[in-house]
Structure formats: structure tokens, C-alpha cells
Structure 1
């Protein structure tokens, strides 16, 4: 990254599964000796705060997508709207398709399954060196690769797409001013989840999801959910 030597690369991990944190840390230290895990946390807000503080900012944050409380999607979006200086690699125990679109929309540089050691290491090395990571399936593997419509951007590109604080509206607020819950719901919609699946994921009722969607459409100035998804994923105020 900008001429740095490929040694002592600083990595951090956020995952609310303590066993997963321990396993990921051990894996990185064993398989990637050029990398140092500077900290781990099971709390999304703590990860955001540390990534936005110069003294504790890592080069790369591994973000679990299915955390309770602040979701991994929200962690990515909060960090990416503030800085391009932390690369984000989404990790998941589900198939990568489950969260791929939402992770890309939220500013991550790639996504990889936790159980796939080789690809996890490849993903870490790729995004640390300024690239994006997309799992390309070989002929003998099941169809779990990313759909063609999902494109990951570099940290700088994603920061600029998400406005990076440069198109703040009146009163210093973000242009869309979505709540944390609305942001998470919108990102899950981008992943292709329906209202029932979103409700199950967030432990709320489908009617509550519908209410949030109504508020989101109003804030985005969208006529329907499809238009809201397009506006949210492109980061633009109008089509």
C-alpha cells in the first residue's frame, strides 16, 4: 500500500463469536507471518471507534457479517463513510452470496468464507496490497461464487462513492440520514433478502421491516423499493 514493505502488516478482527476470534487470530499468525493482529473485539462500535482513531487504526479489518447488535454491514459502512485508510474484508460462515452485495455496497473490498483457509489468506493478501477480492469458482466447485452484478471497489473508490463526507447536507447531516436500523435493513435488501428473512436476521417482525422500508423510501425520495435499492447502492441522491 503506497510503497510500504510487505512486513508487519497490521490486521484487526471484529466478530461476536469469541471462538471465531481466537481461530482467526491463530490462523493469521500461523499462515501469514508478515501480518500482526494488533487487536480483536466482539463489539461493532468498538471496532468502528478503533478504526477511526489513528493510534489504533489497522491496515485491514476483518468484519464478520452476521454479528448481533451493530451488524458487520453497518460496521463497514460507518468506517468507509469516514475514511479510506482501513481496508475491509468481510468474512462469513454462510455462503458468500448471502452478504456479497451488501458488503460491496457498504464499502468492503471483498468477502470470503471463514472455513476456506486458502481463500481467506488470499483475500487478506490481496486487499492489503490494494486490490479487491472476488471468489472465482473452479469447474469442480458448487455454485457459490459471486453473481456478475456484485463488484467490489478499492477503499478509496468506495469512500468516494459513499461521499466520504464531501456531500454532507444542510445541518452537517448525511444526505440520506438513515438510522442504524434503516441502514442495516437497506443493506440486507441489497443482498436480496426478503422482508421475512430480514425480520428473522434482526429479530424483529416483518411488519416492522415494512414500516422501516416506508421511512427509507421517503428519505431516499424513491417511488418503490427497487428504486431505493438502486439509489442506496450507487450512493447518489437521484437516478
Structure 2
């Protein structure tokens, strides 16, 4: 008999949360949903506290507020347990590199029940989805080493600005999303550009999207 396991789900769409719960619990007998939240800010403390931590975390990459890749990185830097499965309604290629760089163990499409179920089952059994993704332990060690080695690592706020900007948002839209001033957005962008060694904003975004951070 397969061992039961729990998942936590982060998606900014309430309807999507309930749909995901229904699909997963209907198609995977061993799975239970420990909790569902609509923001990274709510999910992070639940994952860091052992009593509320699920066995696996499912994270939508396009969250409001704290973006999915930033949430993945914040969690994976701090703990070396609990695999993370990134999810997206966009083509998975759009976020695959960023999900891997942020410490996730795989990425799947929310548009395919079969893909979602297969990815959850694979990570539950093998710990990682496949080539290009690290195990939980290796991802944690890599991110900790990167942070210690590179004193010029982007701050989490700078990462959020880069994530939103890479989605094509204008500075004013990013400011509204993050509830900060436009001038602060531009300051974060300038800092990120300098740290990445980019000549201009467009090169910085290209480097960020392609994982050259």
C-alpha cells in the first residue's frame, strides 16, 4: 500500500485552488491537501514551521505580491526538506529555467490534469522531476553556497521587481503590484542591473529570464 502524503497549494485564484484540490484528491488516493493559500506571504511561514509544513509544496509561478520563483528561493534557501513543484498556466518552458534556478524540483502545466498528476506522483516517489532540476538537498546547498559566495546577490525585493518586469510590466504596474513607489521600483531595477553586470535594462532582463543570475 502506497504511503499517504500531504501537499500545500499556493495559487492566487480561489477557483483554481479548489479545482486543483479536487483533481489531486480525486486522482491520487494517497494525497491529502494540508492547506491552500493565495499568496506567497502566507505560504512561506507555513512551510518553514514544521507543524504546518506539508510533504510537498505546489506553487503557481504567477502569484500576486511575492512571485512564485521568489517564494521558491526563499523557502529552499532556508530548509532542505519538502520538495517544491512549480505550476503554470503558460507553456512550461516560460518558467522552467527560473523554477529550477529557484530551487524547485520540477514544473508542470496546470492546464493538463494528466501532467499535474504525473508530476506530483513522480516527485513524491523520486524526489525530483528529471534533468535540469536538483534534489531538495542539492538545491538547498546550491542556493546557500550562492548566497554566501556572492555578496552582491539580488535581494528578494530586487528579484520581485525583475520577475514582474520580465513579465512585461511597466514600472508603474510593478509599483502598484508591490505597493511601493515607482522611484523605488527603478532603484531596485538599477541595483539588479548593476549586480548582474548588465549594460542596460534589456540586457538585465534577458539575463534574468535566462537564468544568468
TM-score normalised by L of structure 2: 0.80
Q: Secondary structure at the match of 2:59?
A: strand
What pairs up with 1:24-103 in 2 under 5 angstroms? 24-103=20-99
Q: Secondary structure at the match of 2:170?
A: helix
What pairs up with 1:108-147 in 2 under 5 angstroms? 108-133=104-129
**Number of matched residues?**
204
C-alpha contact 1:82 1:164 (8 A) present in aligned 2? no
How big is the shift at 1:7? 1.7
Distance 1:227 1:19, change over 3 A: closer
Q: Deviations over 1:68-110 (max 9, x none)?
A: 1111111111101101201111111111122112111111111
How big is the shift at 1:56? 0.7
Question: Which moves more between the two structures, 52-61 or 179-188?
Answer: 179-188
Residue 222 of structure 1 corresponds to 197
Residue 139 of structure 2 corresponds to 158
Residue 172 of structure 1 corresponds to none
Q: Secondary structure at the match of 2:148?
A: coil
Q: Secondary structure at the match of 2:154?
A: coil
2: CA distance, partners of 1:97 / 1:161:
22
How big is the shift at 1:8? 1.4
C-alpha contact 1:76 1:107 (8 A) present in aligned 2? yes
TM-score normalised by L of structure 1: 0.72
1: CA distance, partners of 2:138 / 2:212:
12
| Pairing partner for 1:22 from 18, 25, 35 | 18
Gapped regions of structure 1 (runs ≥ 5): 135-149, 170-174
2: CA distance, partners of 1:214 / 1:200:
12
Distance 1:184 1:201, change over 3 A: farther
Q: Deviations over 1:163-222 (max 9, x none)?
A: 1698388xxxxx345333311244568xxx47xx1438953599976643321133x362
- Superposition RMSD on alpha carbons, in Å? 3.3
Distance 1:27 1:209, change over 3 A: same
2: CA distance, partners of 1:6 / 1:107:
27
2: CA distance, partners of 1:154 / 1:201:
38
How big is the shift at 1:47? 0.6
Residue 137 of structure 1 corresponds to none
Q: Secondary structure at the match of 2:36?
A: strand
2: CA distance, partners of 1:80 / 1:90:
13
